[in-house]
Amino acid sequence: MPRPTPVYIVASPNQKVGKTLIARLLIEFVQTDGRKVIGYDLQSRRSALAERFPHLVESVDISDTRGQMRVFDRLLIDRGITKIVDLGSGPFDLFFAVMEKIDFVTEARRQLIEPIVLFVTDTEAETARIYAGLRGRLKSTIFVPVHNEAVSVTFAAQDFLAGGIECGPIRIARLSQLVCRVIDRSNFSFANYITEPGGESEVHQWIGPILTRFRELELQLFANRLALFLNAGNANNGPNFEID
């Protein structure tokens, strides 16, 4: 049975909560796994992710129909390539409105593509309301909350429950200002740094749990797909499959 290919949508209705950092981590996570990845930077202002990965990430304006078709069509092609969307607060509402209107998730799953919304949490009551509204509208979509401790020390866990998968929040620990300046350098690579010898620095200790959670999420995604397949096979007198 082929593994589902994820489309990660890193999203928040608010600015400066760490969406681009999370998208960047995902890109390097997929690369270190030896897989192909492309990204789409949907920011209404500076396209920081596209600037950092100019050969992998395309900046797209989805304010018109042409831009919307360009993104959603490309998310459904090349199933072997993982896609990552850095969704800015400006086009946030429009993106999810189009996603709902075209029933994107249903079509994606037909092609063994699994959209996953990584929703960055914060302490604002309005953010929790928006999250609940999205989960209500996009009931079949997988939602995973991401808590960035650099934005807020705590958050109301009951307001940000994962949807469509048994998964707790992904936590991004707070980094010191010195390390923040290091990883913000244009030539800094998490993938290169984590594979270099030299012991357990603050960056190693910070990135290790995040990459572990990404791996756990993808394993759960495959387990979900396998369970569905086995259930369908049992209903048809048993499955006969190979796992890619």
Domain that holds residue 65: 5-235
pTM (2 d.p.) = 0.90
The pLDDT tens digits of the residues spanning 91-127 come to 999 999 999 999 999 999 999 999 999 999 998 899 9
Residue 80 located in a structural domain: yes
Q: Write out the two tokens for 99.
A: 């996603």
The H or E element containing residue 16 is none
Residue 243 located in a structural domain: no
3 state DSSP class of 98: helix
CA distances from 33 to 26, 28, 91, 187 (A): 11, 9, 30, 20
Residues in the chain: 244
Residue 240 located in a structural domain: no
Q: Write out the two tokens for 200.
A: 């357990």
Residue 241 located in a structural domain: no
Which range of 100-104, 171-175, 198-202, 211-215 scores highest in mean pLDDT? It is: 100-104
67: exposed, middle or buried (C-beta count within 10 Å: 0-12, 13-18, 19+)?
middle
- How does DSSP assign 179-198, residue by residue? HHHHHTSTT--HHHHHHSSS
Whether the predicted pLDDT of 73 surpasses 60 = yes
- The average confidence (pLDDT) of the chain is 88
pLDDT of residue 241: 41
The H or E element containing residue 84 is strand 82-87
Query: Which three-class secondary structure string do you get for 112-179?
Result: CEEEEEEEECCCCHHHHHHHHHHHHHCCCCEEEEEEECCCCCCCCHHHCCCECCCCCCEEECCCCHHH
Residue 244 located in a structural domain: no
Q: Write out the two tokens for 231.
A: 């259930």
Cα 51 from Cα 41, distance rounded (Å): 9
CA distances from 181 to 148, 176, 203 (A): 17, 9, 12
Residue 182 located in a structural domain: yes
Cα 52 from Cα 20, distance rounded (Å): 10
Q: What is the CATH number of the domain that holds 26?
A: 3.40.50.300
Residue 33 located in a structural domain: yes
Q: How many domains does the chain have?
A: 1
The answer to whether the beta carbons of residues 64 and 19 sit under 8 Å apart is no
Model confidence at 235, pLDDT cuts 50, 70, 90, reads: low
The pLDDT tens digits of the residues spanning 20-61 come to 999 999 999 999 889 999 999 998 777 899 999 999 999 999
Average pLDDT over residues 164-172: 87
